[in-house]
A and B are shown apart, each in its own frame.
Chain A
């Protein structure tokens, strides 16, 4: 257990509103990731961070932005939520182990009406 919490755990919002999801870790892991999980697609990487203020895009980054102002927190923002962003969002972290094992948070279920 890498001590990863996500907030909120559930959220319902309306199209066009901004939404921010928070991931907090207590393991001092360098790498942090945001994924979305959708039926038939598995997990797809949205954005990731390799250090404070260092982020990069994943395969489905359009419509999302991230920020990491301190090691333990990684924020995912939907600037203007759309129904296609209804999904379950998972945060993950990774330390410096060479095998690239990632540790996952419990997820946030987001519904955009």
Chain B
């Protein structure tokens, strides 16, 4: 019940296309859902995050869609660029407040071809 399942494991998209990465969870107590972007040899960096009281959040070319009833959330990268090529991790907060522990998905390796 503490898992976050992420798919696909890898994704190849043409430049200008839409990249879509999906995550699913079971624990209805999760209340914070961030996405992280990681370039090779670097630490992950927070990309965008959403809370379950909204269904969508957009920041530039990056959008999170959240479906509370289905317990699913996804990352959409519009107009994908070669510079977006990285590993993306979804996550969910497992405690909040005094117990802040994120549960991470297994990651998606995105390659955007020029």
Partners in one complex: no
Residues of A that sit less than 8 Å from B by CB: none
